[in-house]
Amino acid sequence: MEARQHMPASDKKSLRELFLTERRKISPVVEQHYAAEIASKVLNNFDFKNKVIAGYWPVHGEADIRPVLMHLSSGGHRCALPVIAREDEPLIFRGWASTVKMVQGAHGIPVPDKNDPVAETLDPDILLVPLVAYDRRGQRLGYGGGYYDRTIAALRAKKPVEVVGIGFSVQKSVELLPVEPHDVVLDCVVTERMIDRF
């Protein structure tokens, strides 16, 4: 069931809390089942050949995309995870495999150790991004730091990048989300139920 907005569309903070509350209602067992459904959809519906795939390390109940990265990495694909190098700048991406040493990064999020030989800096071709909410136009609501907006804009200025939102169906907003000039549009969103393409 889609979460509904019950406040002014301009109130991003309230919207975040609404959708984060909906996400927190998902039990760990159900979340694990949903993550498996999402992984199946991602692995069976995208072309990963000769591409660098960037995911994320899940925090705060985000959909766990690590099984996708593990599957792709074990199959010889180059995978990467985001790193906050500096506040107010685009994220960088370091190579990742199951053998890579992880260290604590900004905001306590694990990142690949820059001293690991696999953890070279990469530019992804496919970017799997977490989200707090999204709408039918492909607008993404994040945590408010602007990291992914800056990053996606910077990557798209260099080359075509497929940006895939990853979330649960309760994170789809029935109402249109508020938009600011710097907000970027996703190419699609994968949930446990469907793939929404925009």
The per-residue pLDDT for range 97-150, each reduced to its tens digit, is: 999 999 999 999 999 999 999 999 999 999 999 999 999 999 999 998 899 999
- For residue 27, the number of C-alpha atoms closer than 13 Å in the C-beta half-sphere is 3
Looking at residue 39, what DSSP letter applies?
H
**Nearest residue to 73 via CA among 51, 45, 101, 103:** 51
The residue extents of the domains of the chain are: 12-193
pLDDT above 90 for 180: no
Give residue for tokens 């970027």: 184
Quick one: CATH architecture of 12-193?
3-Layer(aba) Sandwich (3.40)
Evaluate if residue 163 carries a pLDDT over 70. yes
User: Residue 65's CB: how many other CB atoms inside 10 A?
Assistant: 23
pLDDT recorded at residue 10: 55
CA angle 178, 198, 90 (to 5 degrees): 65
pLDDT digits (tens, 9 = 90+) for 53-92: 999 999 999 999 999 999 999 999 999 999 999 988 999 9
Tell me how many degrees the CA angle 14-177-41 measures, rounded to the nearest 5.
Answer: 105
